[in-house]
């Protein structure tokens, strides 16, 4: 670990000519309340009224990076290394404890956790998700067919979402989110649930966003997906930035360290 830190600090940092996202010394700490080990009847009545024991989990610690327009950044790390927390903080969804994230417009996070309504049909959810992202209802009504077709869900348009498989609802979310052409798109494992055909189409859609000077962050456990899509990679371990550089270099170092 110590050797890797020096390695990071010695390297010249990649600085983008046209920055889209500036992550400045970002730290995020979670407070997780712990259950008392032996619950007793008396404790279950009094526990609420005294300060509950909690553990502070430092999920992201002092991460700094400047990311430019047109860059596709892979975020690498083991389970619990802070990747998802990092993305949520970059999206402005989690308040940082110190440091800050700066961007031109609020980045759009595409996560496995659905922002959609389980009791509504796919068609209704296009309207709900799209208006939540600030699209006009009129535009959405005109594009619903196209969005459902991209997700490959024409036959399930009027079925409530709770009957969808996890892959189907992830496809729908991806289709809605990319329909708004966000300046910065953050993708958290959402591509992993689609089938091969959908993965190819979504990779194409990401390339379109990048070509239009968009920026993409991608969290995935699949190194091959990251190598295929990304140009740059950040390696996080225990919330700290271990390495930041071209994707080939960082993914090779990550692979060497984890296998």
Partner 1 sequence: MASTVDAVLAEHPELVRLGGRPPLGVYLRDLWARREFAVTVPLGELRAQHMDTALGSSWHVLNPLISAGIYYMVFGVVLNARADVANYPAFLVTGMFVYYYTQRTVAAGARTVVTNMRLIQSLTFPRAILPIAAAVRESIAQGPVVAVLLGLVLLTGERPAWGWLGLLPAYALQAAFNAGVALTAGRATFHFRDIEQLLPYLLRLWLYLSGIFFTADRIPAGWARTLFELNPMHVYVRLARELLLDGAATPSVWALAAGWALAALVGGFVFFQREEGQYGRGW
| Residue ranges that bind partner 1, judged by CB under 8 A | 9, 13, 15, 19, 21-22, 24-25, 30-33, 48, 64, 66, 88-96, 100-104, 106-109, 111, 113-115, 117, 119-120, 124, 127-128, 131-134, 136-137, 160
Q: Is the dihedral of CA 203, 154, 176, 147 positive or negative?
A: positive
Nearer to partner 1, 107 or 251 (CB): 107
φ, ψ dihedrals at 140, nearest 5°: -65, -45
Nearer to partner 1, 131 or 258 (CB): 131
Structure tokens at 168: 């189907």
Q: Which residues contact 222 (CB under 8 A, 6 or more apart)?
A: 192
For the CB of residue 230, give the shortest distance to partner 1 in the complex, in Å. 21
Structure tokens at 56: 């502070």
Cα 20 to Cα 22: distance, rounded to the nearest angstrom: 7
For the CB of residue 166, give the shortest distance to partner 1 in the complex, in Å. 14
Nearer to partner 1, 27 or 207 (CB): 27
Structure tokens at 107: 């980045």
For the CB of residue 128, give the shortest distance to partner 1 in the complex, in Å. 6
Nearer to partner 1, 3 or 12 (CB): 12
For the CB of residue 197, give the shortest distance to partner 1 in the complex, in Å. 25
CA 55 to centroid of chain Cα atoms: 24
């Amino acid at each position: 670990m110590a050797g890797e830190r020096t390695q990071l600090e010695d390297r010249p940092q990649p600085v983008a000519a046209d920055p889209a996202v500036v992550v400045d010394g970002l730290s995020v700490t979670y407070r997780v309340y712990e259950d008392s080990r032996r619950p007793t009847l008396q404790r279950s009545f009094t526990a609420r009224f005294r300060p509950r024991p909690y553990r502070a989990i430092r999920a992201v610690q002092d991460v700094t990076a400047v990311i430019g327009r047109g860059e596709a950044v892979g975020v690498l790390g083991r389970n619990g290394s802070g990747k998802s927390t990092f993305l949520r903080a970059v999206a402005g969804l989690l308040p940082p404890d110190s440091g800050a994230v700066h961007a031109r417009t609020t980045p759009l996070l595409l996560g496995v956790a659905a922002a959609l309504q389980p009791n509504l049909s796919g068609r209704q959810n296009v309207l709900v998700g799209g208006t939540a992202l600030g699209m006009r209802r009129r535009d959405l009504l005109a594009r619903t067919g196209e969005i459902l077709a991209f997700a490959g869900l024409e036959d399930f348009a009027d079925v409530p979402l709770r009957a969808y498989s996890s892959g189907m609802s992830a496809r729908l979310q991806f289709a809605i989110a990319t329909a708004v052409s966000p300046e910065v798109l953050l993708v958290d494992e959402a591509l992993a649930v689609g089938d091969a055909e959908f993965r190819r189409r979504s990779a194409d859609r990401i390339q379109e966003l990048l070509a239009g000077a968009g920026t993409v962050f991608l969290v995935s456990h699949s190194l091959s997906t990251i190598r295929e899509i990304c140009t740059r990679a950040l390696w996080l371990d225990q919330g700290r930035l271990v390495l930041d550089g071209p994707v080939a270099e960082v993914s090779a170092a990550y692979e060497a360290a984890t296998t």
